[in-house]
A = this chain, B = another copy of it.
Amino acid sequence: MHQMKRLQESCKKNGPLCVGLDTDPGYIPPEVLNNYASPAQAVLAYNKALIDACAPYAGCFKVQIAYYEEMGIEGLIAFAETVSILRNKGIPVITDAKRGDIADTAKAYARAHFSGDFETDILTVNPYMGFDTLKPFTEFCKSETEGGKEKGIFVLLRTSNPGMVDIEKQALASGGIVLDAVGNNLKAIAKELALGYGASDWKDSCSPVGAVVGCTEESDARQLRDTYPEIFFLIPGYGAQGGAARIAATLLDKAGGTVNSSRGILCAWKKDEELADVREAGKLTMDLIVKAAQKAAKNSKEDLLNAVEALRG
């Protein structure tokens, strides 16, 4: 079973929440951070505790490499360890790296994240330089791939930032907008790979190639879900970024998807009313912030499942 299918199954079983380990040391209160020899060690300890505490409420975890790259070599050691812990526990893990480059360089990135120290299950990729740049990644997603890895990728389609209008939404002379050009190609690649896994009709199967679709506008969500009914979505923008569960539920229709929440969970301790006194006294502990995160994950899962239910009802 390929990694995207495994992710889809996990989301059916555990719910659609993707816990985002965008673990900036700034998301850990100073009184906890200071108990560790370095910010990277504090981040790793927080990640380990979060994985155990939130796994029952998560379809998967996503690790955003930027926050680890910022911490240099020690940060990337913590990144590798985090991804490895998730894989060893059999929890689906997405590396959010948005890598994109040409020819041999793209091959190097594919090998960097689908083998070796940083090996992950599923990787996010940036298609801007052209569709030939996706091939080195999709080579790892095939049913008969290098070492039978059967990895997955999420291609950027519609991101959740205001600036997505600058390029993704530009109208093309040939009709549609830029993201349609990406989507059409993505759909063709996704279909080819799904059929390679022996599906007679890929609409009933799941492709190892998914799309990133931000959860920020209801009309876009409906349109993209209808246009790409067979594609599994990675859905950022819910929670701290302001996207509502209702929009997420729209995107979770049909082939489904996984809804990322990062800061809403990592920084739950900042808003948890039960922690008001201990927070003001500067007496938070690792145990307390992990419990706040766990509660937020549980609530987010319920929020999403309720929204899905409401949409169906």
Q: What's the least CB distance linking A215 to chain B, in Å? A: 13
| Shortest Cβ distance from A135 into B: residue | B163
Q: Which of A84-141 contact B (CB under 8 A)?
A: 98-106, 108-109, 111-113, 116-118, 126-133
Q: What's the least CB distance linking A27 to chain B, in Å? A: 10
How many chain copies does the complex carry?
Answer: 2
B168 and A118: CB pair below 8 A? no
Inter-chain CA distance A20–B79, complex, in Å, is 27
Q: What's the least CB distance linking A143 to chain B, in Å? A: 24
**Residues of chain B lying within 8 A (CB to CB) of residue A117:** 72-73
A73 and B70: CB pair below 8 A? no
Given contacts A70-B108, A72-B80, contact A181 B161 (CB under 8 A): no
| Shortest Cβ distance from A163 into B: residue | B130
Q: What's the least CB distance linking A216 to chain B, in Å? A: 11
Residue in contact with A166 in the complex, picked from B24, B130, B166, CB distance below 8 Å: B130
A165 and B109: CB pair below 8 A? no
**Residues of chain B lying within 8 A (CB to CB) of residue A104:** 22, 24
Residue in contact with A105 in the complex, picked from B64, B101, B181, CB distance below 8 Å: B64
Given contacts A129-B163, A133-B163, contact A71 B173 (CB under 8 A): no
Given contacts A72-B80, A118-B69, A129-B156, contact A170 B164 (CB under 8 A): no
| Shortest Cβ distance from A166 into B: residue | B130
Residue in contact with A173 in the complex, picked from B66, B76, B173, CB distance below 8 Å: B173
Residue in contact with A116 in the complex, picked from B24, B72, B128, B165, CB distance below 8 Å: B72
Residue in contact with A24 in the complex, picked from B22, B80, B108, B168, CB distance below 8 Å: B108
Q: What's the least CB distance linking A23 to chain B, in Å? A: 11
Q: What's the least CB distance linking A173 to chain B, in Å? A: 4
**Residues of chain B lying within 8 A (CB to CB) of residue A165:** 130
Residue in contact with A108 in the complex, picked from B67, B128, B173, CB distance below 8 Å: B67
**Residues of chain A whose beta carbon lies under 8 Å from any beta carbon of chain B:** 22, 24, 64, 66-67, 69-73, 76-77, 80, 98-106, 108-109, 111-113, 116-118, 126-133, 156, 159-168, 170-174, 178, 181-182, 185
